[in-house]
Structure 1
Amino acid sequence: MQLRNLSIIVFCFLVISSFTVVFLDVESRASGAEIYVDSLYHEYPGGKSDGSAEHPYTSINEAINLADEGDTIYVFGGLYDEHIVIDKKLKLWGSIENGPSIIDCTEVFLRHTVEINADYVEFQNFDIRDSDGDASPIGSLLCINSNNAAIQSNNFTNFSSWGIYLSPGSNGNVISENKIDYVENGIYVSSSSTNDIYNNFIGNCSEKGIYIESSQNNRIYGNKINNSFYGIYAKSCNNINISNNTISTSSYHGVYLDNINGGVIKSNFISSDAQDALYIKSDDITIQNNTFDNNRRAISLFGDNCEIINNRISNSSSSGVYTATQSNNNLIYHNYFHNNNPSAQENGNNHWYFMDQGNYWDDYNYVDRNLDGIGDRYYTYNGVMDIYPLGYFLKPPKKPTNPKPKDTETDTNLKITVEVYVEDPDSDLLTVYFYRADTNTLIEGPHQNPVRNVASKSRVSYSFTQPFNATYAWYVVVNDSLLENRSDVWFFLTRAAPPDNIPPVADAGGPYSAEAFEPLQLDASNSKDPDGTIAFYRWNFGDGSSQILEENPVHIYRTSGQYTATLTIIDDSGSIDTDITTVQILPTTNQEPTAVMNIPLNGYAGSVITFSSSGSIDPEGDDLTYLWDFGDGNTSKSANPTHIYSNAGTYLVTLKVSDWQYDDIITGSITISRKPKEETPGFEILSLLLVVLLLVIVQKKKNK
């Protein structure tokens, strides 16, 4: 009996122990086991393979078959002649040691070397190839038939068909950091959505680097694609995003979009393509912030309602942008065109500006005289009409410099030759005018003034004669037929005639202080000449400007800082003296005035109406000026004017109140009516008397 009980106890212990082992194994699997594979393991002595690091499997497929969902398979470097099928949620990590993990299946006419048929698979760091060329010409090195797989840092090479193939219905996959080289087509996506293809290197594809069709909401980002027939080829897709890619040396087109409805082509660099960098047979595409360089054409546009904005287009041998006859209602603006042949060709019905912004054309060849950033005439070449061309304007001549005689030079000859250096950044021949500064008229001499056909980057001169003791101020204007520039005012002094003269003493006053934009009066009144009078004053304000003939000029400095002002005086005998002073300009603290308008709401035509600015103030108490605009073409500078309107109507009245720097403008309205006509007094009384008279006459007839 005791033996029987002992047997029962031992049996129960063994059963419980087996369940415990199974339970622990299940717990371990649930957390994701690590499995190792090494194709060279058979070279080492040891026991049977169990998938551990010490006893790895020798086949990737064997590891997949024995793995559970969520396991990670680590593959040592080596050659794996296998057709891999992944039908579980697994992580496969190759090349963990001893070089690359090469999957190179020698099976003849194999359709796909690696197939992923389960969702959430991670596959990285493998080298997949077809060295003997026996695989199917309509297959792929990697076929994805699943969702949310991650394919990263693999090398695909030497294959006569697709590198990576996403079969229809494969959504949400991430393909990144892979190198795909020397295949017919790099990556193919069919009828799939929300896939991300980013940061891959794709090169030397005999057909297409990336081919995507009948798909939607896919993103192609940060890839480098070169030396392929097409860089990216997309057909019959919705909402494609192609951004931050570098595409170069395509044998045909860099990016080809056919029947795409909506999408973004943004921040790509596309260069050195044999045909078009971007060929668009699609609608509603935004092409923005791309750089196109050294292509046959940068953009060929055959679709409608696209927006091409902020692209840099340069060195196109055929055309920067070409719009076909069937293209309509595309917006093309804020693009930079440089060294294209030609810049653009318009054959459809498109808009080359938006609101008041056009494009930057290096062949515009005209000016912007009012410096508003928009050219003074339309850009009209090869069918393009840009009415707001931007930038790349012809520049004015540079300011004439290096005068001879030098500024303030004394004791010059009576027969004088003045000379300056002139230069223009975009014109070869210039016209130079020599002016006398005191009268602003051309200097008279024996030769023609102005001097024409002066070469840019050269010196030009003009000769004339002056008497003894002459103080002569002069300047030069240089013109390139469209724009001009003016020099500073210089002066010189001819030789003095005897007797000797006591020179004058210059006193520039100061130091001075003011705020930026505040009128500042400089004072030379303490300058004196002991034996005569001061005949000439010249102030150099130290900010690039000067003034002559004013003893106490008023000047406005526009930028805060410390300046050195120089006063030069010449007396009536031709002697000269100079003094300098400092000017400290502070940042402006002036505040804007406040305009207050007091006007009636109504009035009559022909009547005197009083307007008042009472209540208008300046925070610093500066003197104010007033400008009224009564809305009928009449104005007044009075603070409280009166006005008579000739016609009835509603008028917009404007009051501008100004201090020395700022303005404030206020508006109001007044309704003017015609005066009512005055009726003849007593008419009602006359009517009443007439009625009474008639009643009396009728009553008399009855009495008879």
Structure 2
Amino acid sequence: MKKIKLIIVSVFILLNSLIIFSDNGSCKNFSNNTFYVGGNGEGNYSNIQEAIDASSEEDLIFVFTGLYNENIKIKKSISLIGENKETTIINGKNNFNAITINASGVNISRFTIKNALVSGIFIESGRSCNIFQNNINANNIGIKISIASYLKIYNNTISDNLATGINISCNFTNFSSYNNTSFCFNNSIFHNNFINNTIHCYDQGYVSWSYNKQGNFYDDYTSLDKNNDGIGDKPYIITKGGSMDNYPLMMPYTGKIRIKEFYVDEGLLYKMLVISMVIAILFVLPIGYIWYRKYYR
């Protein structure tokens, strides 16, 4: 049984050490060496930060299922991959950020990231980073972005965060040339599920909230999908400054766009009510008049 499990994990690691498939179908070479955290393997690291410190650029760190009480800092181009996003948990211990990124080419996938005092993931400065297939919940801010370009955040569930699901606070007074990142541009956020955050998103126009005319799911979106394509008919307003998701999803994203099965078209409902009232009045008035003429004259 142990041999079978070892073979399965080895194949999984081999595939992940060759490529990461992004949600838009592209792939990225990223691994020179693989470091293991948790599990029972000889030489495995007991915590994630130790493995990161021991790694080099473009290495892969694979984290086995478990609870990791850490505040992680990433300052090199690595890929941090969990075994299972439901059971591989990074607990921020109610202390600052669970993960802080100051590097380019960082990939984070298949974790539950929770209980950070400030942010589940803080991208202080990053370029060409990918955050995907994670549960990011019960933090103050789910993901906070200070300086980033060519960033992709997709296929995450971002829920139950006390302040904001995603906060993008790029401003021109904070730009620097650290890690060859000097602007906030070409950032994309799509196929994420925003559920039960106090405020789902804050952005002043530094990202695209969709990809290939597919955006994100927001549990407070109330518009309709009259053509049944799974995309809302009206944009979802991110902030009053004009940032919006032009293609909000009607149902949580589970790997495909789903159609909402039941709608109440309020406009049509009001029209039907008005028409019904007019018909009722036109029908009742003559009867009332006849009744009045018959019994009171």
Letter in 2 for 1:222: G
Q: Deviations over 1:255-294 (max 9, x none)?
A: 355232xx776444679xxxxxxxxxxxxxxxxxxxxx65
1:198 maps to 2:186: no
2:104 match: secondary structure:
coil
**Local SS of the residue matching 2:77:** coil
More helix by proportion, 1 or 2? 2
3-state SS in 1 of match to 2:203: strand
Name whichever structure is richer in strand by fraction: 1
Q: Corresponding residue for 1:105? A: 92
Aligned-residue offset at 1:254:
5.6
Of the three residues 134, 144, 152, the one matched with 1:154 is: 134
Partner SS state of residue 50, structure 2 = helix
Matches of 1:73 and 1:270, distance apart in 2: 35
Residue pair 2:203, 2:238 contacting (<8 A) in 1 also: no
Residue deviations 1:401-433 (CA, integer Å, cap 9, x gap): xxxxxxxxxxxxxxxxxxxxxxxxxxx99xxxx
The aligned runs of 1:264-303 (5 Å cut-off) are: 266-268=246-248, 294=264
Structure 2 counterparts to residues 656-671 of structure 1, below 5 A: none
Give 1:153 deviation, angstroms. 0.6
| 2:120 alignment partner in structure 1 | 141
- Which structure 2 residues correspond to residues 342-357 of structure 1 after superposition, within 5 A? none
Amino acid at match of 2:121: L
Given that 1:126 and 1:153 are in contact with CA atoms closer than 8 Å, whether structure 2 keeps it comes out as: yes
Q: Which of structures 1 and 2 has the larger relative contact order (alpha carbons within 8 angstroms, sep 6+)?
A: 2
**1:297 is matched with which residue?**
none
Distance 2:136 2:200 in 1: 13
Corresponding residue to 2:159 among 164, 181, 203: 181
Instruction: Specify the code of the residue in structure 1 equivalent to 2:194.
Output: I
RMSD of aligned alpha carbons = 3.7
Structure of higher CA gyration radius: 1
Per the TM alignment, residue 200 of structure 1 is displaced from its structure 2 partner at its CA by 1.0
Could you say which residue in structure 2 is the equivalent of 1:226? 219
CA drift at 1:125: 0.2
Quick check: 2:218–2:249 contact (8 Å CA) kept in 1?
no
Match of 2:241 in 1: 259
Are 1:79 and 2:67 matched, yes or no? yes
**Aligned amino acid, residue 138 of structure 2:** N
Change (3 A) 1:340 1:257: farther
- Specify whether residues 245 and 55 from structure 1 end up closer, same or farther in structure 2 by C-alpha distance, changes over 3 A only: farther
| Residue pair 1:84, 1:114 contacting (<8 A) in 2 also | yes
Amino acid at match of 2:156: N
Identity rate, percent: 25
Count of matched residue pairs: 213
**Matches of 1:270 and 1:341 in 2, distance apart?**
24
| Contact 1:222-1:246 at 8 Å conserved across structures | no
Q: CA deviation at 1:194?
A: 1.9
Q: Please say if residues 217 and 249 of structure 2, whose CA atoms lie closer than 8 Å, have aligned partners that are also in contact.
A: no
Match of 1:599 in 2: none
Cα distance, 1:37–1:201 mapped onto 2, change above 3 Å: same
Q: Look up the equivalent residue of 1:87 and give its one-letter code.
A: K
1:36 counterpart = 2:15: no
Of 78, 81, 86, the match for 1:93? 81
> C-alpha offsets along residues 117-153 of structure 1, whole Å, 9 cap, x if unaligned?
11110100011111xxxx53xx111111212110011
Q: Deviations over 1:378-398 (max 9, x none)?
A: xxxxxxxxxxxxxxxxxxxxx
- Tell me the TM-score normalised to structure 1 length: 0.27
Correspondence for 1:407: none
CA distance, structure 2, for counterparts of residue 78 and residue 173 of structure 1:
28
Where does structure 2 lack aligned partners over 5 or more consecutive residues?
A: 1-29, 171-183, 224-228, 252-262, 276-281, 284-297
User: Which residue pairs with 1:68 in the alignment?
Assistant: 56
Flag the 1:266–1:244 CA change in 2: closer, same or farther, 3 A: farther
Closer, same or farther: CA 257–166 of 1 in aligned 2, 3 Å: closer
Report if the CA contact (8 A) 1:143-1:164 is conserved. Answer: yes
Q: What is the aligned partner in structure 2 of residue 114 from structure 1?
A: 99
Say if 1:93 and 1:123, in contact at 8 Å, map to a contact too.
yes
Equivalent positions of 1:123-142 (< 5 A) are 123-130=108-115, 135-136=116-117, 139-142=118-121
2-structure distance, mates of 1:127, 1:264: 27
> Secondary structure, in 3 states, of the residue corresponding to 2:113?
strand
DSSP 3-state at the match of 2:70: coil
Shift of 1:187: 1.1
User: For the residues of structure 2 that align with 1:264 and 1:205, how far apart are their CA atoms?
Assistant: 17
Q: Is the 8 A contact 2:215 2:245 kept in 1?
A: no
TM-score normalized with structure 2 length: 0.61
Aligned to 1:468: none
Instruction: State the one-letter code of the partner of 1:103.
Output: I
CA positional deviation for 1:157: 1.7
Structure 2 residue corresponding to 1:55, chosen from 43, 49, 53: 43
How far is 1:223 from its partner?
1.5
The Cα offsets for residues 504-552 of structure 1, whole Å up to 9 and x where unpaired, read as: xxxxxxxxxxxxxxxxxxxxxxxxxxxxxxxxxxxxxxxxxxxxxxxxx
Following superposition, the deviation at residue 193 of structure 1 comes to 2.5
Deviations 1:581-618 (A, max 9, x none): xxxxxxxxxxxxxxxxxxxxxxxxxxxxxxxxxxxxxx
